[in-house]
Structure 1
Amino acid sequence: MEAVTFALIGLGTGSINVLLAVGLVLIYRGSGVINFAHGGFALLGAFIVMDLRTRHDMSWPVALGAAVLGAAAVGLLVQVLVMRPLRTASPLARVIATLGVHTVLIQGVLLEYGAEQRTVPVPVPSGPVHLGSEVVVGKQNFYLVAIVVVVAVTLSIATLRTRMGNALTASAENARAAAALGWSPNLLAALTWGLGGALAGLAGALFPATSTGFISIGQMSVLIIGGLATALLAQFRSYNLALAGGLAIGIVQALTTRYVDQTGVADAVPFLVIVVVLVMRGKGLPVRGSAADSLPRIGTGRAHPALVVPIAVAGLALLRYATPSGWYPALIVSICFAIVGLSTVVLTGYAGQLSLAQFALGGTGAYVAGRLAAAHGWPFELALLAGVVGAMLLGLLFGLPALRTRGVNLAVVTFGLGFALHQILFSNSDYTGGEFQTKLESLRFLGLDVDPIVHADNYGLLCAVWFLVLAAVVATVRRGRVGRRLLAVRTNERAAAAMGVSVFQNKLYAFVLSAGIAGVGGVLFGFSYPTVLYQQLFVPDLSITVLVVTVIGGVGYVCGPVVGALLAPGGVAVLLFDTSSAMSSSDESFVRFVPLITGIVLVLTLVLNQNGVVDQLAAPVRRLWPRRARDDEAVTASAPRTPVAPKSLEVRGVTQTFGAFTALAEVGLTIAPGQVVGVLGPNGAGKTTLIDVVTGYNRPSSGMVVLDGVDVTAWPPHRRARAGLVRSFQSLELFDDLTVRENLLASSEEQDLAAYFTGLVRAGTPRMTDTVCAAVEELELTDVLHRRPQELSYARRRLVAIARAIAARPSVLLLDEPAAGLDEHESAELGRLIRRLADDWGIGVLLIEHDVELVLDNSDRVMVLDFGRVIAEGTPAEIRRSDAVRRAYLGESLVEATP
């Protein structure tokens, strides 16, 4: 019966999960944004009620109404002032903006009410309820359940039975389609942000019923974890599933509290749900924007040694010999945050993976190093190395969900994982040194006394040197082969795989490398204190802070973390004021506002220029020293056409079904080296599906794909591409973060493992191969090598896409409508190029195209598809004479023109 009692107690916490989740679902359905500020909305509602009831003695209904309306108004303002201007920004930028709003709300409440625990009357009737002789539960749990049932059922009915609900459903599936039907996406988004904020405010107002009337910023700022887990169970769609899932999570948490004797495990239950749901589901949530998403700009990683080295040396000299002693604590904090920020540049800037656990990874490094140094007497050098290795191993674990999720979905996983790590490890004194905690003796590094108390100047110098070394590593990675691979993955995973880039391999590499960098920053930050208090130093919110300050500086630039880290809590920003013991009260009060200002600056940065401060500062440099001088490598006038490795392709009886629909039925073809095979058919005939099957993007229901006598049906796309089976895309799918030259290099460079290690210290000098030079010459791209694809006309971009596919030196090249958007002259030139690819280089070509004359004039054989079935196959002349083809596809005009 004890289990029943705790299960019923869990209904209260579960009800709060439900209210938060339905608000998250509502906002997501209306705007496509996962609102990480939702916990801040709930916190605001709770403290409005507390203020009105305890300070102003208002009645519960009035206080509740004020809390709900206040949170709704904040939600509406966030949509109008923040999310609407960011509607064309990347999904990552929109999520980061909600983190900035979260920071503003938390810091605003903190400044007004302080961090101490507050007491507020329980908002619903309480008292014991006896269910039999052994089960006694507070009646407030049942009131909370009744409230959330009414809310969830009402929203479900409204969704199914009202025009507004139907509009939201349509918008959730396709925002543009809903707009075409007369529903304003902005109106729907504003409505859902307002209602979602109101529900979060209601959750905050009711929260004291689950905590016997106590509220604090610390306990409420993590409410979002349970809400996110519940919303994921509901697939961010169903209010009824949110009702069931939220109550279930609350029950499991309560039972875990009773039966698992381990600190923090109950708090980690929602995180476990998040990981299981996202990883087992195997796909992420769709993300929407009203226009093409724009990712933050990436720096080149280039810096002239004649300029950088003197500046670095002068900076180190000033730090060591000309810095007031009172400045070192703040400088050390900012440098450590900048180091962890470099890990964010690698992971989020270069690889496009949003992690909200980078400071937790740094804390892991500090934990391993600190325990080895304090409990086992390891020297600082070895402890630091062990801490970095420990952080990298955990980074590998963090990266595993990235194989199944990405982007904003990965942010949900890492946010929960960082929170669980703090609750289970950092907050458990049994693991952190017990009564004495992790006390560090006098530190020495390579013979130098770097004790942060006695020799803060030496310790600050050590931190600065580590930052410079790691900054050089990050810049080197950007300039090298691995940097181009990471940016290719960040920009377009499908296209990267088609060029032979292993998406999973590069994601894991980014996670492990970034974790190692964060580990260095975490160790240096933790060791800057005589006692490493992990619970206080590595709180989950600091991972958000690191991301925030890095984005402010510029998440795509090596110098971005330096600029952003000036605003780190306890960092250089405090040096703007008197740091002496006689600091005035006005200075102290202003310092308290720094975290709030940081959140506001982040939001303004994203709205005005999501590329960050460094990008703005770099703009004049880009105008003075354009890329062209560095990127326009000479292209030999008569570039050699070295034959490729001859390989044949066989497609044997391939059938592809999607549910009851058959896209391909027993399709077979053979492409010999140097042969062009054309495929004709109207839209919906299965042409692109055929390419997807051949290149590994779809697994056929039956049949085989054989390359040079080897069955490659089970091979992933990148492995097929490395074997010589390369494709282009109907929608181009270029790497817009890279220049045209870098696009070609990313396709032509060897995909070796050694680059992951050598690329840390040497970027190398990239050279375009003979194949790339020949492709550039053939397609007349020499004058645009220094430009990014989005700066070109559509026709030139299509030529770049073809050149990128050729640059991979394919044995078999599959072209998906390459002439779309080209004029008659350009199509004719493309046809001649295709013939030269086959005749001069020995490439087998599969040509799918709506331009019938282009196919018939340049193909050796032609296959015609009709609803996934082959209705004709033969030479171009035979296809021209086919009555079935003439009636179904080609039309009388073409036949009449045939001699």
Structure 2
Amino acid sequence: MAELLGVAVLGLGLSALYALSSLGLVLTYRGSGVVNFAQGAIGLCAAFVWFELHVNGSWPFGLAVLVAVVAAAAAGALIHLGLMRPLRTASSIARTVVTLGLLITLQALVILRYGPVVNTVPSTLPTDPWILGAVTVPADRLILIAVALVLTVALWVVYRFSGFGRSTSAVAEDQTLAAAVGVSPDVVAAANWALSSALSALAAILVAPIITLHASSMTTLVIGALAIALIAGFRSFPVAFVASIVLGIGQTLLTRFVDQPGAAAAAPFLVMIVVMTVRGRAIPLRDHPFAKQPRVGSGRIRPAPIVAAALVTTVLVLVLSEAWVLAIGTTLAVSTFLLSFVVLVGYVGQISLAQWPLAGFGAWVAGRLMAAHGVPFLPAALIGVAATVALAIVIALPAVRVRGINLAIVTFGLGAVLEFLLFTNSDYTGGIGGTAVDMELFGWSFDGGLHPYRYVSVTFVVLVALALVVTNVRRGLVGRRMLAVRTNERAAAALGIGVTSVKLYGFALAAGIAAVGAVLVTFSVGIVDYHQFSSFQSTVYLGLAYLGGIGFVAGPLLGAPLGPGTVGAQFGKDVLVGLGEYLPLIGGIALVLTVVANQDGMAHDLARVSRRVAARLGLGDRAIRQPARAALVSRPGQERERVRPSTLAVSGLSVRYGGTTVLDGVSLDVRPGEVVGLIGPNGAGKTTLIDSITGFTRPTAGSVTLDGAELAGRSPSARARAGISRAFQSLELFEDLTALENIIAATDPASRSCYVTDLVRPAPVRLGPGVTDAVREFRLEDDLDRPASDLPYGRRRLLAIARAVASGPSVLLLDEPAAGLSGEESRELARVVRRLADEWGMAVLLIEHDVEFVMDTCDRLVVLDFGRVISSGEPGEVRRDPAVVEAYLGGESAALAMRTEATS
């Protein structure tokens, strides 16, 4: 027992390290909404400044600490003002990647200045053992945990009770509203960046004597701190401190008593994964922000670039040395791996930092099958790819419940688990020397070291084949589903798209591509060193994919040359001697500048220039949607088919959040060909009722039925396929898609075979009568080829309703469809809604605050107040109900105004 207690107390040292690092991460996120992956690198640079001044320069300890901390604070403020402020409206992918670029840049600077040498730093804190009963513990551990506790309390007090803390909370809640009341979001964010960077510097200086000082010491530490900050929700300082205590002691105990290499290092991430799986949601709440995503390519196959690339590659291979040929082959192999980011991050919008370790798993399976069991290369590689796909699906099951930066950290943790438990254990990887492999197919070896020309040929063919697969996916039904999920998960689910299945497919396909790329990269020299499959290297590769253009198939080929062993490294060796060691620095700086200047990557610029050149040469592309547009002409002599009649019934529906009742026993029904208005004051629970009907909110009591069939337990996408469609109050369009693609997304068949067939031959776009009718009904013919984000507000709102109508639902739910429309537009929309009920046969449930719109359109009204139905009946009856006049209309004057308006 004494030994157990003693080991636990020793774990307080690690707890202090985690606490000091995680507090800085929480600070940055609270002030700017950014998770700073470069937090440890900033502290590392400050620690080396202190090391130069105090250890090498004999400056007084306190003065050296002050200079280093002030320098870090200034750097933090400059990072926000110069890099993060221009990206405040950018996607979470862009903000994540720019901090990864900073991490790469700062770490490269440290390596260039100090090399990989481990510097032992003398302790500035007393290290004499303190005897606490039967336990002996070094004094510096207790001092560090005391410092962490004091800082935690101080930060909690400041951010809870001070004006600065209230300003930070206001900015975190709503930057626009905070600015309106005189709080500058930029000043608050810069101050928090400065404080978090200063805290990172202080933490690095204090812990350097314990963990030594070298290029990766602090960046490794911040990996665990990220897990703790995520557990704390990036908001709570006390929770971060407590989590640091628990995990620090837990890791120390695991190190001492568990004989499994890597188990202790993986512990924080295993805890984090469990926490986020329980805490996450399959579909985001309706207040989830949807930031602009990087652009994506059209997926059109252009033979000319493929032929040109083949000719250029052939010429280079014939004229260059074998070393250059191997570098070209490695570049093509790295490009193949980077294609996985195009699928998962570019198309599906899932920020994964586990791609390289995950791909390494496939290489590990293939390598061990070959080395230990004599399995030939091809079947071993195929088994490795299949195993990677299976593992990716297992990993994706918890990952699909989180999104954005939380997903990035969870996948980073999953990659770290693989790294710590598998790749750093020589018992599993063939010993210190690695695993010997030979890429041989039917007696034909294409080992890169022995046969570089064959290696280039194979990597080129594989890259082209997988690039065609990715372009096919982009053009097909699966690609539309992916982009819909990427842009807006709630809207995708409301159209019947299985959000979870799309994400799982994206993870699986990307993992398979990544495994192929990893095998080609790591098997090229005959010996596989599995230590290279680190989580940090995964962040580097993500940066390269983003640099090239993460939404374009050509992007990987543009970003790959900055990777290790590629033509960029060879150029540094042969042409600019010594440049190779600067390659990480060049890549990091290029990545940061690219994200700030152009979030769409080099491939987007290249495509834009190519279109301009083609246009000047008279070779411009023909409109690719002309056949689709031709199908939208009127169909004389054909009557519109009525939808399948169904009755929606809500009985005793209640929704509670904690102790707050939002809906209390609501009952109503909507019959075919009928428009029922749902009205009530703001906060009455109207949108919550629609969310409950469509499956986005789980009721605490009551039932929702469609033609008597209970819908409880069915997902939003399943309810959409059953015939319930909705238009959102906030529109929630697929901003990356054109107006036509938005509408088509609602009518795509619910096919699962497309997940296979689209890999080879994507199905052509076929427009059903519902699309034609919806476009004509809402007069969107002239807007079909325009991106949804470019449409004026009135057209965007009509597009949102047309998308909900196109699938021909039996029940249509409209949430304030006339909001923001002019008087004439509202009257026209009212006539369209009536036609949807009278001519299409839909059952329409309508939420609207426009009194004239409601009175002219609805057959019946249901009035909610504080979640209860206070009146229902025909519009004339409800209009005269005293309870409605008092609760909804606000008194006699409003009632008089309403009567006057209705009779005018």
TM-score (ref. length: structure 1): 0.95
Matched residue, 1:711: 710
Matched residue, 1:130: 131
Confirm or deny that 1:654 pairs with 2:659. no
Percent identity, aligned pairs only? 46
Moved more, 114-123 or 715-724: 114-123
Confirm or deny that 1:892 pairs with 2:892. no
- Give the SS at the match of 2:734: coil
- Give the SS at the match of 2:704: strand
1:450 maps to which of 431, 442, 446: 446
Matched residue, 1:257: 255
User: What RMSD in Å do the two structures reach over aligned CA positions?
Assistant: 2.3
- Give the SS at the match of 1:182: coil
CA distance in 1, matches of 2:394, 2:288: 35
Seen in structure 2, the aligned counterparts of structure 1 residues 146 and 288 have a Cα distance that, compared at 3 Å, is farther
- Give the SS at the match of 1:118: coil
Matched residue, 2:295: 297
CA distance in 1, matches of 2:30, 2:310: 53
Moved more, 280-289 or 95-104: 280-289
Seen in structure 2, the aligned counterparts of structure 1 residues 692 and 598 have a Cα distance that, compared at 3 Å, is same
- Give the SS at the match of 2:759: coil
Contact kept? 2:36, 2:99, Cα under 8 Å? yes
Q: Which amino acid in the other structure matches residue 725 of structure 1?
A: I
* Displacement of 1:827: 2.0
- Give the SS at the match of 2:703: strand
Matched residue, 1:388: 385
Seen in structure 2, the aligned counterparts of structure 1 residues 313 and 515 have a Cα distance that, compared at 3 Å, is same
Matched residue, 1:670: 669
CA distance in 2, matches of 1:422, 1:291: 33
Matched residue, 2:775: 776
* Displacement of 1:291: 10
2:508 maps to which of 512, 531, 538: 512
CA distance in 2, matches of 1:529, 1:53: 45
CA distance in 2, matches of 1:179, 1:377: 67
* Displacement of 1:380: 1.2
CA distance in 2, matches of 1:138, 1:872: 72
2:546 maps to which of 548, 551, 555: 551
Confirm or deny that 1:332 pairs with 2:329. yes
CA distance in 2, matches of 1:498, 1:754: 21
Q: Deviations over 1:508-557 (max 9, x none)?
A: 1111111111000111111112211111x322221011110111111111
Q: Which amino acid in the other structure matches residue 562 of structure 2?
A: L
CA distance in 1, matches of 2:123, 2:313: 57
Q: Which amino acid in the other structure matches residue 609 of structure 1?
A: N
Q: Which amino acid in the other structure matches residue 788 of structure 1?
A: P
Q: Which amino acid in the other structure matches residue 774 of structure 2?
A: A
Q: How does 1:111-260 map to 2 (within 5 A)?
A: 111-132=112-133, 135-211=135-211, 214-260=212-258
Moved more, 136-145 or 163-172: 163-172
Seen in structure 2, the aligned counterparts of structure 1 residues 628 and 805 have a Cα distance that, compared at 3 Å, is farther
- Give the SS at the match of 1:335: helix
* Displacement of 1:312: 4.7
Matched residue, 2:730: 731
- Give the SS at the match of 1:633: helix
CA distance in 1, matches of 2:611, 2:822: 34
- Give the SS at the match of 1:738: coil
CA distance in 1, matches of 2:315, 2:772: 48
CA distance in 2, matches of 1:740, 1:627: 19
Matched residue, 1:405: 402
Q: Which amino acid in the other structure matches residue 344 of structure 1?
A: F
2:598 maps to which of 564, 587, 609: 609
Contact kept? 1:11, 1:251, Cα under 8 Å? yes
Q: Deviations over 1:26-52 (max 9, x none)?
A: 111111111111111122123223322
* Displacement of 1:831: 2.1
Q: Deviations over 1:290-310 (max 9, x none)?
A: 9973211111111233x2453
Moved more, 683-692 or 405-414: 683-692
Seen in structure 2, the aligned counterparts of structure 1 residues 255 and 641 have a Cα distance that, compared at 3 Å, is same
- Give the SS at the match of 2:625: helix
Moved more, 723-732 or 391-400: 391-400
CA distance in 2, matches of 1:642, 1:531: 66
2:413 maps to which of 406, 413, 416: 416
Which runs of 5 or more structure 2 residues have no equivalent in the other structure?
Answer: none
Seen in structure 2, the aligned counterparts of structure 1 residues 285 and 858 have a Cα distance that, compared at 3 Å, is closer
Confirm or deny that 1:314 pairs with 2:315. no
* Displacement of 1:285: 14
Contact kept? 1:552, 1:602, Cα under 8 Å? yes
- Give the SS at the match of 1:703: strand
* Displacement of 1:626: 6.9
* Displacement of 1:886: 4.8
* Displacement of 1:671: 1.6
- Give the SS at the match of 2:760: coil
Contact kept? 1:655, 1:700, Cα under 8 Å? yes
- Give the SS at the match of 1:137: strand
Seen in structure 2, the aligned counterparts of structure 1 residues 16 and 450 have a Cα distance that, compared at 3 Å, is same
Contact kept? 1:10, 1:252, Cα under 8 Å? yes
Contact kept? 1:732, 1:801, Cα under 8 Å? yes
Confirm or deny that 1:589 pairs with 2:589. no
Matched residue, 1:689: 688
Matched residue, 1:879: 878
CA distance in 2, matches of 1:90, 1:266: 34
CA distance in 1, matches of 2:498, 2:286: 26
* Displacement of 1:708: 1.6
Q: Which amino acid in the other structure matches residue 450 of structure 2?
A: V
Q: Which amino acid in the other structure matches residue 547 of structure 1?
A: L
CA distance in 2, matches of 1:58, 1:526: 47
CA distance in 1, matches of 2:290, 2:496: 25
* Displacement of 1:264: 1.3
Seen in structure 2, the aligned counterparts of structure 1 residues 744 and 166 have a Cα distance that, compared at 3 Å, is same
Moved more, 378-387 or 854-863: 854-863
CA distance in 2, matches of 1:3, 1:351: 47
Q: Which amino acid in the other structure matches residue 893 of structure 1?
A: A
CA distance in 1, matches of 2:743, 2:853: 25
Aligned residues: 887
CA distance in 2, matches of 1:269, 1:578: 41
2:457 maps to which of 456, 461, 466: 461
- Give the SS at the match of 1:528: coil
Matched residue, 1:58: 59
CA distance in 1, matches of 2:741, 2:581: 46
CA distance in 1, matches of 2:300, 2:268: 43
- Give the SS at the match of 2:763: coil
Matched residue, 1:720: 719
TM-score (ref. length: structure 2): 0.94
Q: Deviations over 1:798-852 (max 9, x none)?
A: 1100110011221111111111122222222222222222222222111221222
* Displacement of 1:227: 1.1
Q: Deviations over 1:651-676 (max 9, x none)?
A: 11212233343322222112222222
- Give the SS at the match of 2:862: strand
Q: Which amino acid in the other structure matches residue 590 of structure 2?
A: V
Seen in structure 2, the aligned counterparts of structure 1 residues 895 and 166 have a Cα distance that, compared at 3 Å, is closer
CA distance in 1, matches of 2:317, 2:587: 28
* Displacement of 1:270: 1.7
Seen in structure 2, the aligned counterparts of structure 1 residues 504 and 773 have a Cα distance that, compared at 3 Å, is same
Q: Which amino acid in the other structure matches residue 3 of structure 1?
A: L
* Displacement of 1:461: 1.4
Q: Which amino acid in the other structure matches residue 275 of structure 1?
A: I
CA distance in 2, matches of 1:370, 1:296: 36
CA distance in 1, matches of 2:43, 2:414: 22
